[in-house]
Structure 1
Amino acid sequence: MAHIRSRKHSKPVHLLALLAASVPAAGMAQQTTTLPTVTVKEAPEVPYKADKSANEKMTAPLVDTPKTIQIIKKEVLEEQGAVTLMEALRNTPGITMQMGENGNTSAGDTFQLRGFSLQQNTFVDGIRDLGAVTRDTFNLEQVEIVKGAAGAETGRGAASGFINLISKQAHLGDESSASGTVGTASRKRATVDLNKQLSETSAFRLNAMVQDSGVDGRDYVENKGYGVGLSYVTGLGTPTRVHLFSQHLRQDNVPDGGIPAIGYAGYTTAIGPKVRRENFYGSVNDREKVDADMFTVKVEHDLGERTTIRNTTRYGRTTMDRTLTGVNTGNTGISTAGPQSAWTVNRSRQRVDQENSILANQTSVNTAFNTGGVQHSLAAGVELLHEKQSSFDHGTATAPAANLYNPNPFETMGNFGGRTGGITGGTTNTISVYAFDDAKLNDRWSINGGARIDVYKLNTDNVTAAGVRTLLEDSRSLVSWSVGSVYKPAENGSVYVSYATSATPPGTSNFQLNTSTTNQANSTLDPQKTDTVELGTKWELLNKRLNVAAAVFRTENDGQTSQDAVTGQTFQYGKTRVQGLELSAVGQITNFWQITAGLAKTSTKALSQRSRNATTGVVTVTDGVRWSPDLTATVWSSYQLDKLTLGLGARYTSEQKRVVTVGGTGNVPNIPSSWVADAMVAYQLTDKVSLRLNVYNLFDKEYLMALNNGGGRLALGLPRSAALTANVKF
């Protein structure tokens, strides 16, 4: 179990000591030799702390990398019982969750960082991940969050950063574990992690998960599915290594459309009390079926001690088949005719039938060399990428209005029927070349930088049910780069300044180009440009057991569409500016006291953004960015007392604005500030068996977790809940 830590030396240390004490004495019977005393010190074990990114493009240690990077290791996820990516990301400040448009709810992981969406900026082992899926943590070694414009690392997008999920891989040595979890809301989950050494140079690993759970505070909502991660590696410990790994996820959920916002502060459409938080306004026949598969082959070869070449090929495919019935609470959404017990709320049905696929090939080289007294760590490569998305039409289906305070999920709903032949689709093809260099000028100074060129082509291919086809195309080259200077006032610390860029071409969020002159996806528009300037410092304290960092940053995204107040003509002079301060601390305070904490204080503004109604001439000015809190903070800490481990954490999010237009009104205007506390108690029964109890929302705070863009529908955070997990090693 993650939080029970051995202080013993590893087997290699014992073998080294034994070898030093038993140097062959054959042939030396007549001579006595006294060997010098050798003291072997084991490096301190720091479960929360990472020293280096798993991303091969980042060649320097984290303390010497001039940008904000947070790594959430599996030990933290296990202690917290975090099973989804969104739960894992609670450990980093600045990330918020979205709900979707009026009458709809976004599928899969939908969140934003520092005012910009991350939905298309999630990667698995350095390769872009597609598909509307709620990602699970069962096959993750760690989660890496890189903040600030990151086009040089990822290509298109990444205006505020990206997330890189690192998969579990087979390794030498036998190591196996299993866990079973039961909890409130009929939570049931089991995982297994089996690593088997097959020979001196090869190993196999199996990670698997199965779950069948309800959702605390919600009727009828279910999260059900299973996952398998497979990894085989040969050539371990040799110059040539071959990795074969895959991941397969199946989900069969009952999705949640949220509840009406009536009764919450600012809701003006109807006057009445709040509905029960447990009310389910969908249908028992609603479903969310996801099949997600990815297959990867990676070959590594060492050309000497300082140079490694790699080739990685991946194919991934995700399908989503979802029917969701949600409340529609616009101006006429709630009917207050008759007694309150007869009030109704309109509902709408949404069908998502979507396929995403990706084929990627990366060839890269990492090498180290000296030129004129300068030590270089170089990473360079070429990436070929083909991405495709297809959404299939099913027409429309009706849903009767629901009783506002006593909805009936067994009512008969309209049927979407089969596919109509209409398809909304798009593909992107990208050829990329990149290079990064960490140049150490001397013991004090280094320069870290890189650049990437993407030759990019997007094709939108839409077909209506009547067979009318629309083809749109956008081809261009994108250039992104970053540079940073690092000064080390001491061996364990650094001070840095950096500058980074990214480019977001039209239509990249959903593979859809548009012919409207006012639409940001119009292919005649220039890519949005994002620049980030960052000044920071990083230190390894307490014998390098604790990482602390502080950074001030400013990110500006330029090239957003805006309209002239008089003529209505569209120009690209709209901007979003985000600036602020971020603090973090990760590692050990003592051998038994772990901590991970972060705080982000930001200011997010929209500049020169206005739209003009072509009919009325009314001009709307936008001066803010939705769902961008000024202050977010998170802390998780655990302390070991012999066989007992105690954990406590808290998260704070300040107010998130929904209304960001000058003079804008209507329905719930914002998500109020909130804080939530969680706790954990674990006990090591034997060397192989441990128990862990997690309690979430310890003080049973009611808080808004997400609000739709119209302000009439919301999702509440989970009430107080608990989960008991048994962990077994064998």
Structure 2
Amino acid sequence: MNILHEDLGFSRMPQDVMHTAQTVNVVPKLLMEQQNVKSLDEALRNVPGITASVGEGEGGMSGDQFLIRGFQAQNDIYEDGLRDFGVYNRDSFDYDHVSVIKGPSSEVFGNGTTGGAINNVTKTPHLGNSYGGQFSGGSGQYYRGTLDVNQQIGESTAIRIVGMGNENNVVGRDNIYSHRWGIAPSIAFGLGKPTTLTIEYFHQTDNRIPDYGVPLLTKPGTSIARPATEFGVNRNNWYGTNYDQDASNVDMLTAHLKHQLNSNISFYDDLREGMYERYFSASQAGCNATCNTEYFTDPAAALIDRRGHLGGPEPYQQNDWSVQNVFSTIAKFNTGSVKHQIIAGWDVEHIYDRRTNYAYNFNGVTTKADTTSLVNPSHVQPGLLLGGLGDYSSNLVNISGVGNALYKTGSATDVGAFFSDQVWFTPWFSATAGFRWDNWNSHYSANGGAVAQGVSYGQNQGTFNPTVHLMYTPNDNVMVYFNWSQSTTPMGLYVTNSSEPLKSSTQGFKPERSSLYEIGTKYNAFHGRMGFTVSAFRLEKGNALQTDPSTGDVTSSSDRQRNQGFELSASGEILKNWNVIATYAYYDATTIASLTAANVGKRIQYAPKNSATFWTTYSIAPATPWNLTFGGGLTWRNGVWLDAANTERVPSMVEWDAMISHSFLKHWKVAMNGYNLSNRLNYSSLFSDRVTPSVGRSFLFNISASY
């Protein structure tokens, strides 16, 4: 489990974690297997400083919405170094391991990456044959099967097929389920040769019920709003209707070409096309002042408004496609006694998003009234009818600057070029200087419905993002580094993840600009069995944009925010058969300047002051018929603020998990996992005025075979 040995999974960052001058957290394959990880969200619970969120604005974009160090990373999810633009919940069946590169990394990834980037390394063909499969079942009517087959064909060709089928409810939440399946076939040519071509196809179908959790309440006599479940509301309560649905189909075709010209020069070309289809409708419970007061005086009278937010549960059909091509070259050479490694190339991507909006009719009139009991909700709403395309156009979502539109279309094209040179002045000291230039051209239009003539906005922005690293490496097991890097997030970046990428009031906003200053040390100990890291950082973001959760309006473009702190990690084998992976992060995250004077000095929302993860296992007699592996761990996070004014707060999270397994007949294994063993009321997905309770105490049995 020593994560310092892991690679990052793509050519633009060719070093392993040990020799990467930045904080990198890895969720290794062994850890995912021991925890029986089933989604990207579950994998990232092993990384401190990452919180999950549900989307802001119209329709409340669900799917995987993560924040890193308190900053949005909704467009910073990658697979093998290429962006995954889709808005969906990612299953982990095709993941070998997951890497999180903390802090601005625009020189490598392009626009975005204020808090960092998430890169999922997929399972690809390899030489030799391997066959595996597993089945899991347990609490919450959980049933899951996976298959992984690799077959070598000839001297240097192999195919691999990975598949998954999954059905589950959610322990501790009413009416929530997910039914999904996926398949990922791939073929590789030229394995072990100078030229290698790998072609991968990925498909995932998911039909689930979105969960937007419970609203916040403010107890009379207090000033801090907290989740309703902290005041006695049943954690199982779900405030949706029979129309709520999140159905997605994802298809991605990827090609990776590598050509090693000689020992000093290599060329890479990575190409991906993605197609994403999604039908989405989610009720978003809102408890206004009347609802809040009634709950504490007459709970049975308290009514929540299921359309208490921009968009309510009005559904939409989303159809996206994207294409990205990254060409890069790595060249190694000497100028006299000075050694160089140059990484250079270009990156071209285009993304297109098309949404068709629908609306409801309620009791024969177009009204937004849709209430249910806060204490005893019902998902049946008599008289609520879903209209066809254009039937109730006057009841469509009204967005400031856009209006009630049937069709909303966003698109963007990015052309980028990058260059970096790592120079070894001595065998133990090197420096890297690099930059990336991007031209981001984005467009957004809305028409139909109550929009008389339609609206259309566009902007073209050029960005330049530099980076500098200094690295002291006295030997192969020690690195001390300094990192300065910048990133840019222009308006209109989140084409697929935002309800209105551009509006008349925002298209002239300057892009968000972030700078990272970081020093750290990485150390391989005990002959490489253990890896230790420590880093201290300051992350500053200017021109921060604030989104109003009720209207979707972006109201500020001048806030300055700062997150500074330190992170620690230890991973590997302490003693023979005893593995551990542990992380800790401390964040001092503050708004240091704002147009809203009252927000100055307040903590950044979603950024915990302290967070930590711990997982350890011990194997008894691993090579004998009576072998046994057991272990467990802890996930902990301080309470966080949910708004910039620090008037809404979610409590701390503490979750204890455990596992036990036994191998038999050389190739078979049985295992049992327990999650949230204390059945504590924790909260997972966070929003500015509501939160989603986490899974309650649950158990999964697993049987697997590997040949």
Normalised to the residue count of structure 1, the TM-score between the two structures is: 0.85
CA contact (8 A) 2:163 2:182 kept: yes
Q: Which of 357, 360, 381 matches 2:324?
A: 360
Q: Which of 125, 137, 141 is the matching residue for 2:96?
A: 141
Report the AA paired with residue 209 of structure 2: V
User: What is the match of residue 217 of structure 1?
Assistant: 172
Alignment partners' CA distance in 2, 1:559 and 1:260: 30
**Other-structure match for 2:592:** 607
SS of aligned partner of 2:384: coil
User: C-alpha separation between the residues in 1 aligned to 2:446 and 2:481?
Assistant: 48
CA offset digits 1:658-696 (Å, max 9, x no partner)? 2432xx65xxx2111231111010111221110111000
Q: Provide Cα deviations, 1:195-229, integer angstroms capped at 9, x if missing partner.
A: 01111111100000001100011121101110111
- In the alignment, does 2:257 pair up with 1:287? no
- Whichever residue aligns with residue 416 of structure 1, its letter is L
Instruction: Give the C-alpha shift of residue 246 in structure 1.
Output: 1.0
How far has the Cα of 1:657 moved from its partner? 1.1
Of the three residues 317, 320, 325, the one matched with 2:275 is 317
Q: Residues 664-683 of structure 1: matches in 2 within 5 Å?
A: 665=647, 669-683=648-662
Q: What is the correspondence of 1:167-186 to structure 2 with a 5 Å cutoff?
A: 167-186=122-141
The answer on 1:405 being equivalent to 2:371 is no
1:396 is displaced (CA, Å) by 4.1
Match of 1:634 among 609, 613, 629: 613
Whether the aligned pair in 2 keeps the contact of 1:400 and 1:413 (CA below 8 Å) is no
Q: Distance in 2 between matches of 1:203 and 1:536?
A: 40
Deviation string 1:568-594 (CA, Å, 9 cap, x unpaired) is: xx9854201110011111222123111
User: For 1:716 and 1:454, how far apart are their aligned partners in 2?
Assistant: 40
Q: Deviations over 1:354-376 (max 9, x none)?
A: 22221111221122222212222
Give the partner amino acid of 2:544: Q
Once the two structures are TM-superposed, the CA of residue 272 in structure 1 deviates from its matched residue by: 11
> 2:677, 2:701 → 1: CA distance?
15
**Which residue is 1:487 aligned to?**
472
Tell me how far apart the structure 2 counterparts of residues 726 and 49 of structure 1 sit (CA, whole Å).
30
Query: For residue 146 of structure 2, what is the aligned residue in structure 1?
Result: 191
Distance 1:103 1:377, change over 3 A: closer
Contact preservation (8 Å) 1:48, 1:76: no
Letter in 2 for 1:274: G
Deviation at 1:281, TM superposition (A): 2.2
Q: Please show how residues 560-571 of structure 1 align to structure 2 within 5 Å.
A: 560=544
1:83 to 20, 38, 54: 38
Alignment of 1:638-677 (within 5 A): 638-642=617-621, 643-661=627-645, 665=647, 669-677=648-656
1:347 partner amino acid: R
Partner of 1:723: 700
The answer to whether structure 1 residue 129 and structure 2 residue 77 are counterparts is no
Q: Which runs of 5+ in 1 are unaligned?
A: 1-45, 563-569, 613-618
Does structure 1 retain, via aligned residues, the 8 Å contact 2:226–2:649? Answer: no
1:700 aligns with 2:679: yes
Alignment: residue pair count: 661
2 CA distance for matches of 1:378 and 1:175? 37
SS in structure 1 opposite 2:41?
Answer: helix
Cα displacement string for residues 404-460 of structure 1 (whole angstroms, at most 9, x for unaligned residues): 332222343623323337222211111111123332222210112321111221112
CA distance in 1, matches of 2:592, 2:51: 22
Note the alpha carbon deviations across 1:38-74, whole angstroms, 9 max, x for none: xxxxxxxx57653432221223342232111122222
Is the aligned partner of 1:107 residue 2:92?
no
User: Is the contact between residue 334 and residue 345 of structure 1 (CA under 8 Å) also seen in structure 2?
Assistant: no
Tell me, in whole angstroms, the C-alpha distance in 2 between the residues paired with 1:121 and 1:270.
32
Q: Distance in 1 between matches of 2:59 and 2:534?
A: 39
- Counterpart in 2 of 1:38? none
- TM (norm. structure 2) is 0.88
Q: Deviations over 1:103-134 (max 9, x none)?
A: 96541011211121010111111111112101
Larger Cα-atom Rg: 1
Q: Distance in 2 between matches of 1:330 and 1:104?
A: 19
Give, in whole Å, the separation in 2 of the partners of 1:677 and 1:269: 22
Q: String of CA shifts for 1:513-533, please: whole Å, max 9, x gaps.
A: 54555xxxx232322211100
Which range moved further: 507-516 or 202-211?
A: 507-516
Task: Answer yes or no: is the 8 Å Cα contact 1:284–1:409 preserved in 2.
Answer: yes
- Is 1:414 matched up with 2:384? yes
- Over 3 Å counting, the alpha-carbon distance change for 1:109 and 1:622 in structure 2 is farther
Taking only aligned residues, the RMSD between alpha carbons, in angstroms, comes to 2.6
Match of 1:307 among 265, 288, 291: 265
- 1:238 equivalent to 2:193? Answer yes
Cα 1:85–1:308, aligned 2, differ >3 Å: closer, same or farther?
same
Q: Partner amino acid for 2:446?
A: N
Question: How far apart in 2 are the matches of 1:68 and 1:629?
Answer: 18
CA distance in 2, matches of 1:152, 1:66: 13
Report if aligned partners of 1:645, 1:681 keep a CA contact under 8 Å in 2: yes
Unaligned runs of 5+ in 2: 308-312, 363-368, 391-404, 547-554, 622-626
* Corresponding residue of 2:535: 551
Residue 205 of structure 2 corresponds to 250
Amino acid across the alignment from 2:251: D
1:292-314: CA deviation from partner (whole Å, max 9, x where unpaired): 11001222222122322122221
Quick one: structure 1 residues 468 and 318, their matched pair in 2 at CA, closer, same or farther if it must change by over 3 Å? Answer: same
Q: Equivalent of 1:391, from 319, 341, 355? A: 355
Q: Is the 8 A contact 2:208 2:245 kept in 1?
A: yes
- Mapped contact 2:2–2:530 kept (Cα < 8 A): no
Q: 1:102 to 1:231 in 2, by over 3 A?
A: closer
Counterpart amino acid of 1:218?
R
- For residues 287 and 571 of structure 1, what CA distance do their matches in structure 2 show? 33
Which of 262, 274, 282 is equivalent to 2:232?
Answer: 274
The answer to whether the Cα contact below 8 Å between 1:66 and 1:448 also exists between their aligned partners in 2 is: no
Indicate if the aligned counterparts of 2:516 and 2:537 stay in contact, CA closer than 8 A. Answer: yes
The alignment partner of 1:327 has SS state of coil
| Conserved? CA contact 2:216–2:228, under 8 Å | no
User: Alignment partner of 1:328: what SS?
Assistant: coil
Distance 1:316 1:225 in 2: 19
Q: Which secondary structure state, in structure 2, belongs to the residue aligned with residue 624 of structure 1? A: coil
Is the 2:479–2:521 contact (alpha carbons within 8 Å) kept by the matching residues of 1?
A: yes
Determine helix, strand or coil for the equivalent of 1:88. helix
Q: For the residues of structure 2 that align with 1:692 and 1:413, how far apart are their CA atoms?
A: 49
Query: Any residues of structure 2 matched to 1:423-438 within 5 Å, and which?
Result: 423-438=407-422
Measured after TM superposition, the shift of residue 623 of structure 1 is: 3.2
State whether structure 2 residue 327 is matched by structure 1 residue 369.
no
Q: Give the aligned partner of residue 461 of structure 1.
A: 445
TM superposition shift of 1:80: 0.6
Structure 2 counterpart of 1:595, from 554, 572, 580: 580
Instruction: Show the counterpart of 1:3.
Output: none
Aligned letter for 1:578?
Answer: N
Equivalent position amino acid for 1:720 in 2: R
Matches of 1:268 and 1:122, distance apart in 2: 30
Q: Residues 186, 439 of structure 1: CA spacing in aligned structure 2 closer, same or farther, 3 A cutoff? A: same
CA distance in 2, matches of 1:78, 1:246: 23
Residues 34-73 of structure 1: pairs in structure 2 closer than 5 A: 50-73=5-28
What is the CA–CA distance in structure 1 between the aligned matches of 2:171 and 2:332, rounded to whole Å? 52
Q: 2:85 corresponds to which letter in structure 1?
A: L
1:321–1:66: structure 2 CA closer, same or farther, 3 Å change rule?
same
CA distance in structure 2 between the partners assigned to 1:271 and 1:359 by the alignment: 44
- C-alpha contact 1:212 1:223 (8 A) present in aligned 2: yes
Q: Share of identical aligned residues, percent?
A: 26
CA distance in 2, matches of 1:686, 1:654: 44
* Contact map agreement 2:291 2:302 (CA 8 A) in 1: no
Could you tell me whether the CA contact under 8 Å between 1:263 and 1:272 is conserved in 2?
no
Secondary structure of the residue that 1:325 maps to in structure 2?
coil
Within 5 Å, which residues of 2 pair with 1:442-461?
Answer: 442-461=426-445
